[in-house]
Amino acid sequence: MLYKILFGIFIVVILAALIFGPKALRVYNFIHLFDEDKISNNFININKVFPTTPIAKSKSPHVFVKRAFELPEFYELDGKTYNLEESLDYFKSDGLIVLHKGDLLYESYWQGNSKDTTHISWSVAKSFLSALIGIAYHDGLIADLNDPITKYLKDFIGTGYENVPIRDILQMSSGVVFNEDYADPNSDINKFARAVAEGTSMRDFAKTLRNGKVPGTFNHYVSIDTQMLGMLLEEVTGKRLAQSLHEKIWAKIGMENDAYYMVDDTGMEWALGGLNATLRDYAKFGLLYLNKGNWEGQQVVPEDWVDASHVADQPHLLPGKNDLSSNDWGYGYQWWIPGFPDTDYLAAGIYNQYIYIDPVTNVVIAKTSSNYKFNEEREYSKAAHVAIFRAIANSTKGELLP
């Protein structure tokens, strides 16, 4: 009898391990994703932590023309001069690419990365999603950016997103209450990640959020806003996000490597930050925007959408100290505007992932990092990277770079 009881307990334990073990391991891996001794390896192996879906490379890969170039030795920030290469090391850079007029001036990798390494983009992925929304809008799949998102996503009636205009969601001005502090284990963004790791769908999590401000009046960064746009895109196209990205962008601009999205247990892509790709392919997306959405004569992203994407067109979106914003940088359609001057703009992700675009100097800079110090030095690291990028861009004005 005792034998049968013990055997029964054993079977229950084994079944519990099989059912709950993978999710428990996923939660554990997420909790330790940013540990100093693991972060670099984790950022190039996200597919070993979360389920993913692939994005196939282009059948006609674009190869950059290479030109000789040396990074400037110094950059300035707040009246102080810093050594640029020392700062790249300090911020735990994983890769850096500099393009000028489409040519490859500089490419370097550190911490186990290479030109063929896929690296998590985090919120840089938001800018890719913006491009897809712009294409869908241009194609007439979205009638009006002032439409409430619940015109298309009926199941969000009664949630914090009811009657929130699509434009306000694009501009991180939904009014939804959300704490995006990664350093706070009880923040909404960390609750979100743990919930998804445990098997909650992103759609169900989004339905738990509530609105705290009038939409379109205050700029506050809410990653779930982008996830709502991803669900909107799926609804109006009838296609998964990975398929849309491949068809509308990836295959058209010569992406030379396969990429992938993290997905939840329903197969929904992490539109808010789950894209993993190589640094060269991130740089190509920046080049597409530098060229106003045109790639070798083909208009991939509508030009007017590209232009509107990096314009702060309302007071609450302006860069600088702003009582109507919780951010010092300005904001467009899922693109950041550091300001002063406001001619350059960038896609940015936590732990210092960037695609920087300067139309004045015709420079694109793509950078990946695994800066475990990011949460303690968030604003400093952001300001330093803009200063680094501007120093590099300005150094391309020499006579040897026509």
Q: Which of 121, 168, 122, 125 is nearest to 148 (CA)?
A: 168
Distance between CA atoms of residues 342 and 329, nearest Å:
10
pLDDT of the residue at 279: 98
- The tens-digit pLDDT sequence of the chain (402 residues) is 555 454 444 454 344 344 445 777 787 877 889 999 999 999 999 999 999 999 999 999 999 999 999 999 999 999 999 999 999 999 999 999 999 999 999 999 999 999 999 999 999 999 999 999 999 999 999 999 999 999 999 999 999 999 999 999 999 999 999 999 888 888 999 999 899 989 999 999 999 999 999 999 999 999 999 999 999 999 999 999 999 999 999 999 999 999 999 999 999 999 999 999 999 999 999 999 999 999 999 999 999 999 999 999 999 999 999 999 999 999 999 999 999 999 999 999 999 999 999 999 999 999 999 999 999 999 999 999 999 999 999 999 864 444
Distance between CA atoms of residues 64 and 255, nearest Å:
11
pTM of the model: 0.93
- For the record, the structure tokens of 364 come out as 């694109």
Phi, psi values for residue 99, rounded to 5°:
-115, 145
Phi, psi values for residue 352, rounded to 5°:
70, 55
Which DSSP symbol is given to 265?
T
Q: How far is CA 155 from the centre of its chain?
A: 26
**Is-contact 335 127, C-beta < 8 A?**
yes
CA angle 324, 172, 136 (to 5 degrees): 145
Provide the strand spans (E) within 48-113: 52-55, 74-77, 80-83, 93-100, 103-109
Distance between CA atoms of residues 7 and 29, nearest Å:
31
Q: What one-letter code names the amino acid at 84?
A: L
Q: Which of 205, 271, 223 is nearest to 55 (CA)?
A: 271
**Is-contact 106 97, C-beta < 8 A?**
yes
Q: Where are the domains of the chain?
A: 39-397
In this structure, CATH architecture of domain 39-397: 3-Layer(aba) Sandwich (3.40)
What separation in angstroms does the CA of 248 have from each of 135, 170, 245, 378? 8, 19, 5, 33
Q: What one-letter code names the amino acid at 311?
A: V
Phi, psi values for residue 106, rounded to 5°:
-150, 140
pLDDT of the residue at 397: 84
pLDDT of the residue at 2: 53
- For the record, the structure tokens of 283 come out as 């740089």
Phi, psi values for residue 137, rounded to 5°:
-65, -45
Q: Which of 146, 150, 203 is nearest to 171 (CA)?
A: 146
- Peptide bond between residue 72 and the one before it cis (omega within 30 degrees of 0): no
Q: What is the DSSP string of 309-337?
A: HT---SGGG-SSS-TTBS-SSEESSS-EE
pLDDT of the residue at 21: 57
pLDDT of the residue at 20: 47
Q: Which of 278, 394, 383 is nearest to 336 (CA)?
A: 383
In sequence order, what are the residues at sequence separation of 6 or more whose Cβ sits closer than 8 angstroms to the Cβ of residue 376?
183
pLDDT of the residue at 183: 85
- For the record, the structure tokens of 164 come out as 């929130």
Place of tokens 């170039």: 69
Distance between CA atoms of residues 119 and 257, nearest Å:
12
Radius of gyration of the chain (CA): 22
Q: 80: how many CB neighbours lie within 10 A of its CB? A: 8
